[in-house]
Amino acid sequence: MTFYTYNYLHQSQGNWQYARMIILSVLALIFIVFLIHYLRNRLDVKYKDLSIIVGTLLLLILAMQYDDFSAVQSASKQTGQITTVVKESAKRLGVAPQKVSINSTSQNANLMIKTPKGIFRIDYNSDGTQFVLEKVELHDQHDIKVEGKA
């Protein structure tokens, strides 16, 4: 069973999005530079070809970004909900959120948290607005892995 720390969940929300935005910005800057060179030297065809290649690449990456936007937004929302559950659980148990890890990155029915005080199962009420922490004992605790730094 794999548990994810609060820091792992918090950091994984936007790392790839930042990398994509940096790549898009660099490509847009390169496209503008090549376009300016082409407009200054209309007889030099290599800048026209380079600007067309970079522009096409930029459009392709923008299309992929748009396609992944809803999936990333949904995943980010679920991760945000999970971090809220981790913070609330830590508050109820009187431990720091950094010492709490959870067994899923998305909200599902079988959530468990691992704290210095033990392992707890999270039971939601029927409408999913409130939860209760129930201490559990796992039979095989040797298979527990924790992703992220505590």
Looking at the DSSP bridge assignments, the partners of residue 114 are: 101, 119
CA distance 22 to 29: 11
Residue 24: the pLDDT is 81
Q: What is the mean pLDDT of each run of 10 residues along the chain (150 residues)?
A: 78 67 84 86 81 87 75 66 84 90 76 89 82 84 72
